[in-house]
């Protein structure tokens, strides 16, 4: 099976090319880096310059904007949005319909609740419960 591409015009009128990811068939910009072990739902998008690391999951309708990083084993929920240049740490979970603003940071193992908005440039910290879930706290 050959590589199939889809092209979109962005807000600035620039034509962007996306390919279907091998694991899940979601759309990944040709200049984005998405590990083959990451799952990208067919309705999810990864914009140019973004990075999705190994074992990460992008659920239905998830959107990772330009320059954002989704670290290994992180989960981005249904219709969740990761803003430009934001970072979602290892084993972090961004809940359904949640949004992480541009340049914001979600710490390793943190859980952003459903419909929560992490402000632009903010840091969302992991709670004790989040850390205990992974055996990282007493």
pLDDT tens-digit readout, 4-55:
788 888 778 888 899 999 999 999 999 999 999 999 999 999 999 999 999 9
Q: What does CATH list as the number for 5-133?
A: 2.160.10.10
Domain ranges of the chain: 5-133
Residue closest to 34 by CA, chosen among 76, 1, 79: 76
What is residue 14's predicted lDDT score, i.e. its pLDDT? 85
Residue whose entry in the numeric block shows the structure tokens 């309708």: 61
Quote the CA–CA distance of 19 and 112 in Å, as a whole number.
Answer: 29
What is residue 107's predicted lDDT score, i.e. its pLDDT? 96
What is residue 74's predicted lDDT score, i.e. its pLDDT? 98
- The pTM assigned to this predicted structure is 0.90
Element (H, E) at 19: strand 15-20
Return the ∠ at Cα 14 (arms to 66 and 28), rounded to 5°: 40
Quote the CA–CA distance of 65 and 103 in Å, as a whole number.
Answer: 11
């Amino acid at each position: 099976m050959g590589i199939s591409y889809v092209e979109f015009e962005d807000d600035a009128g620039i034509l962007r090319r996306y390919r279907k990811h091998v694991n899940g068939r979601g759309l990944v910009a040709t200049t984005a880096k998405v590990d083959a072990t990451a799952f990208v739902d067919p309705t999810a998008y990864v914009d140019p310059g973004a990075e999705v690391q190994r074992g990460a999951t992008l659920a239905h309708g998830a959107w990772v904007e330009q320059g954002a990083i989704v670290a290994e084993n992180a989960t981005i929920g249904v219709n969740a949005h990761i803003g430009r240049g934001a970072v979602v740490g290892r084993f972090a979970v961004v809940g359904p319909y949640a949004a992480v603003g541009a340049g914001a940071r979600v710490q390793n193992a943190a859980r952003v609740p459903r419909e929560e908005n992490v402000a632009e440039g903010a840091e969302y910290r992991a709670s004790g419960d989040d850390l205990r879930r992974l055996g990282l706290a007493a």
